Amino acid sequence: MRSAPKSKAREPAPVVLTPEEIAFVRGLVIFEDAELLGLAKPAGLSSQGGRIRVHTLDELLWAFAKPGKARPRLIHRLDRDTSGVILAAKTKPAAGFLGKAMMARKIRKTYRAIVTPGAPEPRGGTIETALRREEIGREAYMRTCVADHPDAEAAMTRYRTLAEASGTALVELEPATGRMHQLRVHLASIGRPIAGDARYGGALVVAGRPVPRLMLHAAALSFPHPGGGTTRIEAPEPADMAGLTAALDLERRP
């Protein structure tokens, strides 16, 4: 039996933004051309579907919509407490092109994280532990599991240590897959949870210094551009993470 034809998803109604919200989201732009927007998302801002009664980044993108036109579309998401590069497409063709690139794993994401206690062992490598989703009340968690678990999702993360100090380290991460909370759970699974990650066992105080939030930053994004060639966008570390990195003597060393 044939399935019924799918109806077209409706574009949500435009969101009315305040001048302050428009100025705020425009201030996040770190890359822009005729087809794409690259933004430096701050920690604490939901990409989509947040429960807090403030506008999400997806809704704030109405600041870039031309009269009578749709807003730019997010190509991927970041966790609410993760800072860094996030990409949006201004046109449907660009969104379709990048969606296919994402499915083909042609978009390369680079993250940095502060972990404890010390550098991973070995200092660099690949984590290929499968993950499964678990619901507890209204909260969703990811758990490690065996590859043949009925709910298993394959997951792969490459990592390397950039710097190490007493009881902590700065690591660079490249996820080859895009599972929810993947980097957080993978690092916790090797005994090096991300500082500030209370959900997955991360330290809330490091070397006597309070950790203000999840110390995970999407530092760079490299991707095929719809117009040709490869584009790389970088987002500087926000002040809270850069300050803790410096205080812990974890500034990247050659």
pLDDT band at 9 (very low <50, low <70, confident <90, very high): low
Flag the least confident range among 23-37, 67-81, 234-248: 67-81
Tell me the β-bridge partners of 41.
84
Number of neighbouring beta carbons within 10 Å of residue 237: 18
In the chain, the percentage of residues whose pLDDT exceeds 70 is 92
pLDDT over threshold 70, residue 6:
no
Report which of 61, 70, 77 is spatially closest to residue 25, judged by C-alpha positions.
61
pLDDT over threshold 50, residue 254:
no
Please list the active-site residues.
79
Where do the domains of the chain lie? 19-247
Report which of 173, 135, 137, 136 is spatially closest to residue 155, judged by C-alpha positions.
173
For the whole model, what pTM was predicted?
A: 0.91
Using CB atoms within 10 Å of the CB of residue 153, give its burial: 0 to 12 exposed, 13 to 18 middle, 19+ buried: middle
pLDDT over threshold 50, residue 111:
yes
| DSSP track, 168-201 | EEEEEEEESS--TTHHHHHHHHTT-PBTT-GGGT
pLDDT band at 166 (very low <50, low <70, confident <90, very high): confident
The CATH number assigned to the domain with range 19-247 reads: 3.30.2350.10
- What pLDDT is attached to residue 11? 65
pLDDT over threshold 60, residue 53:
no
pLDDT in tens, 68-105: 888 999 999 999 999 999 999 999 999 999 999 999 99
Residue keyed to tokens 């997806």: 58
- Contacts of residue 2, defined as CB under 8 A and 6 or more positions apart, other chains included, come to none
What's at 171, amino acid-wise? V
pLDDT in tens, 116-164: 999 999 999 999 999 999 998 888 899 999 999 999 999 999 999 999 9
pLDDT over threshold 70, residue 5:
no
